[in-house]
Amino acid sequence: MKNIFITATNTNVGKTYTTLKLLHTLHDKGYKVGAYKPIETGVDGVPVDASLLLQTCQELNPDFKVITVNDICPIQLSLPAAPYVASCGKTIDFDKITESYKKIKNYCDILIIEGAGGLLVPVLKDFYIIDFIKLFDAHALLVTHDKLGSINETLLSLEALKSRNISHNWCINHFDDTEEFEKITLPFYQDYFAKIFSLQNNLDELTQELITNCNRNGDS
C-alpha cells in the first residue's frame, strides 16, 4: 500500500489540519495509522507540527508510544523558510530522513507524510518537496484554500503533479464561510472537475478514495 503525501498550494493552507483529520478517519476505518514530517522549519524549541502529529498518532495507535518527536521529524531547522534556505548552506542529511522513515513504517499500516510549504519548495539545489512523493512511494493529496486566487494555485500545483506522473487527489480546505467561494470559485471547479472533494463536505468519501488509490499499483 502506498503512503499518503499531504501537500498544499502554499504554507499555512491546512496540511497539518488535513493530516490530523485523515489520521482520525483512517483510524475509524480500522487502520493502524502513522504520520511523518521529514522536515520542519521555523522550529523554536519543539517542532509544532511534528508534536501535534505525534500526539494524535499516540492517541490512535498505541504502537506509536515508542516513537519520539525526532523520529517523526528528523530534520528541524529554526529559520521559517524553505529547507534549502533554512539549512544555511549545510547539507540536509538524507540518511537521517531514510532511517527515521524506516523506523516509523514498522509501527503503522498506513503512513501520512506531511510536506513543508508547497510542491516546488527547494530542499537541495536539485531536490524539491515534490521529489519526496516518489522517494516515499506515496499517493499525493493536494490541499487548496478557498480564497480568491485558489484556482490558479490549484491548477499550477496539479500541473506539477501530472507532469511527473504522480498519482494524486486534491481537496479544498474551507477555512471560513463558503459563500464567497461559491460565488467566485466554485463555478469553474464544477465545470472543470468531475468530482470536488473538501474536508468539510465529503471527508469520508475522500478518505475512501485515498485508500483505493493507495492500493492501486503504478503511477498516475
Residues involved in catalysis: 37
Decide if residue 207 touches ligand GTP (CB under 6 A): no
Decide if residue 173 touches ligand GTP (CB under 6 A): yes
Q: What is the spatial distance between Cα 136 and Cα 6, in angstroms, rounded to a whole number?
A: 12
In the complex, least distance from residue 217 CB atom to Mg ion, rounded to whole angstroms? 30
Q: Which of 2, 3, 13, 36 is the binder for ligand GTP (CB under 6 A)?
A: 13
Q: Which of 3, 7, 15, 115 is the binder for Mg ion (CB under 5 A)?
A: 15
Strands 138-144 and 39-41: unpaired
Site for Mg ion in 45-74 (CB under 5 A): 49
Decide if residue 145 touches Mg ion (CB under 5 A): no
- For residues 36 to 75, the per-residue mask of contacts with ligand GTP, x marking binding by CB under 6 A and - elsewhere, is -------------x--------------------------
Of 33 and 121, CB closest to ligand GTP:
121
With contact defined as beta carbons under 8 Å apart, do 54 and 69 qualify?
yes
Residue nearest to Mg ion (CB): 16
∠ CA 129-132-135, rounded to 5°: 160
Site for ligand GTP in 93-152 (CB under 6 A): 117
- C-alpha grid cell for residue 3? 503512503
Region for residue 169 given its phi and psi (left: phi exceeds 0; alpha: psi -120 to 50; beta: otherwise): beta
Nearest to 5 by CA among 200, 156, 169, 179: 169
Decide if residue 81 touches ligand GTP (CB under 6 A): no
Decide if residue 15 touches ligand GTP (CB under 6 A): yes
Question: Packing angle between helix 15-28 and helix 48-60, nearest 10 degrees?
Answer: 10
Q: What is the SS3 assignment for 148?
A: coil
Q: What is the spatial distance between Cα 111 and Cα 213, in angstroms, rounded to a whole number?
A: 14
The binding site for Mg ion (CB under 5 A) comprises: 15-16, 49
The binding site for ligand GTP (CB under 6 A) comprises: 8, 11-17, 49, 117, 173, 175
